[in-house]
Amino acid sequence: MSTLTSTANEAARRVEAQDIRNRWLLSAPALLIIALAAIGPLAIVFVYSFLMPGSYGDVVWTFSPDAWIAVLLEKDIFDGTWSIADAHLSIFWRSVWLSLLTTVTTLLLGFPTAYFIATRPERTREIWLFLITIPFWTNLLIRTFAIQELIRNEGMINTLLMKAGLISAPIQMMYTDFAILTGMTYVFFPLMVLPLYASLEKVDFRLVEAGYDLYASRWRVLKRIILPLVKPGVIAGSILVFIPSLGSYVTPRMLGGGSKMMLGNLIELQFGQGRNWPLGASLSMALLAIVMVALMLQVRFAGRQGGNAHG
Amino acid sequence: MADPTETFDVRRQAGFPTVAVVCFFLLYLPIAALVVFSFNDGTSIATWEGLSLRWFAEAWNNDKVVEASIRSVQIAACAALIATVVATMAALATTRTRNYRGLDAKYAFINMPLMVPEIVVAVALLIFFSRIKMATGYSGLGYLVAAHTAFCIPFAYLPIRARLESMDLSLETAAADLYATPLRAFRRVTLPLLWPGILAGLMLAFVISLDDVVITEFVKSGGQDTLPTYMLGQLRRVVTPEMNAISTVFLLLSIAIVTAFFFISRKKD
């Protein structure tokens, strides 16, 4: 190599190093704000989960694994023996179960809806898409409130049914698992439809035609051609619905009340009346762990599809 | 188009349009009912007693509602503005380059607030900020603005980055060839082209901040209710159509912003 090209290389390398340094400087404020006001404090929660609760909230700085044990077990106050914490377990169970149900319901309703939008002519497609986007950006609290107004005892559904003489006393829908499921399905529905649509829009319908030419039934075409093609969208939508469902706080608080709590409400309770910050911290970490597992499963499943996981 | 099966629509799946139309109907029914009853003359949220604007007047004259609304807008404006500026910088730093070390990590980190459940971040901030409050004695709106800015960044970043990726570097190179300084090239070439993306990011961030309930509920000090946390507190009690009236106005504002966003981000150039 001549000295001339090596100095040129040297100069190019220096320019590039400078470019990368500038790029780090330019992204520093965003990274710093996220580190300080969103992600960094998670480390404190981790530390807090190994401390003792203070008597008026906050913590006492003594190491203790009690908060982690209390996630699943409870100590008898009289004889000090440990047993399974039924209350916590049932809340964990409800959170996971209702979130899975919400994911399945939104998928079953969202798939035909996304398919319908994707097969509209170009011009009307934009309108349907817009109609899905509006609730997506509308306040979740207001949408939950709208559901609450419909299903409460003195709400519209019960009032109409009673006026029609179909029932004599209001059907209790509020403060049940059904209410939470309805609310979560309602508020997270657009999160399922949008990624499904993104996948369905790219489906090459010549493949579908080929299927029909080979005498496949509609159902078979759907199962063997369309569904495998939109699998990335199904996975993305399921994750987008499952994660916020699992961490739900507003919807179960408004529709489930104090008796039908989910994890988010149990965590809040520890920082409020419960005055057990370490337990709240360990429950938060447990929730985060479940979310991480779900995300890793997504990467794993989507990974088999090849490169277009987010297509 | 040469379609051999003109009468046989390969896209059709029996029942799908019906399900879709029912879903759209159910999606809008609760919101429509909520809006209709905000105009109810009576105190009921389910029995119609005549048309009236009394609940809008009631909300307008409710100092707490007005105060909370002003605070919401203040926080959203500050947070969205800061988030958009830093997200624009971050987007410039993470697009239109070959893969350098740390680039993937940056993407992942910027999007991380979208992955972690909001309640967990809320708890973390409650602990962290209460420590800072004790240490410094400051308990102003700064904490809420900081928290909102952090979770708004990924939302502002998305449309800006998408816009940047659709712009190639040839125009900037041309500007540099014509002896424009980097700053001048940025101001006269990059920024005008990027502008729709920035505006879209700003609007998204604003709406996201305005809608937040959980993080605000945990971070706020006494007397720092925003409109959503005020509503959350009220909804525990017996509700009157005043809540519907507030919701209706809130809905209209969101729809206006989203519609504007839709048109801005749809415009190709």
Q: Does residue A183 lie within any of the structural domains? A: yes
Nearest C-alpha of chain A: how many angstroms from B182?
12
Give the model's confidence band at B44: pLDDT under 50 very low, under 70 low, under 90 confident, else very high.
confident
List, in order, residues 6 or more apart from A206 with CB less than 8 Å away.
none
Domains in chain B: boundaries: 11-52, 55-266
Contact A41 B213 (CB under 8 A): no
- Mean residue pLDDT across chain A: 88
| Residue-wise pLDDT tens digits, B129-153 | 999 999 999 989 999 999 999 999 9
pLDDT one-digit tens code per residue, A277-287: 999 999 999 99
Whether the pLDDT of residue A309 is over 50: the answer is no
Residue B125: what pLDDT?
A: 97
pLDDT of residue A2: 61
Give the Cα separation of B98 and B95 in Å (integer): 8
SS3 content of chain B, % helix, strand, coil (to 5): 70, 0, 25
| Nearest chain B alpha carbon to A129 | B262
Hey, CA dihedral for A109, A115, A118, A124, is it positive or negative?
A: negative
The number of folded domains in chain A is: 1
pLDDT of A306 higher than 60:
no
Residue B120 to residue A16: CA distance in whole angstroms:
40
Confidence of residue B205 (pLDDT cuts 50, 70, 90): very high
Q: What are A235's two structure tokens?
A: 């996975």
Q: Indicate whether A74 pLDDT > 80.
A: no
Residues B22-41 have a mean pLDDT of 94
pTM above 0.80, yes or no: yes
Q: Does the pLDDT of residue A307 top 60, yes or no?
A: no
Taking the CA of residue B33 and the nearest CA in chain A, the distance in Å comes to 8
pLDDT digits (tens, 9 = 90+) for A195-222: 999 999 988 888 888 888 888 888 888 8
How confident is the model over B147-159, as pLDDT tens digits? 999 999 999 999 9
CATH value at residue A133? 1.10.3720.10
User: Does pLDDT of B7 surpass 70?
Assistant: no
Q: If you search the block for the tokens 């007397």, which residue do you land on?
A: B223
Residues of chain B contacting residue A249, judged by C-beta atoms under 8 Å apart: 118-119, 213-214
A210: which chain B residues are within 8 Å (Cβ-Cβ)? none
Whether the per-residue pLDDT at B100 is higher than 50: the answer is: yes
Is residue A310 predicted with pLDDT exceeding 50? no
Instruction: Kindly report the CATH number that applies to the domain delimited by B55-266.
Output: 1.10.3720.10
| Partner-chain contact A45 B120, CB within 8 Å | yes
Please determine, for residue A4, whether its predicted confidence score (pLDDT) is greater than 80.
no
The pLDDT, as a whole number, for residue A243 is: 92
Task: Note whether residue A47 is domain-resident.
Answer: no
| Range of the structural domain that residue A222 is part of | 85-303
The per-residue pLDDT for B10 is: 77
Amino acid letter, B224: Q
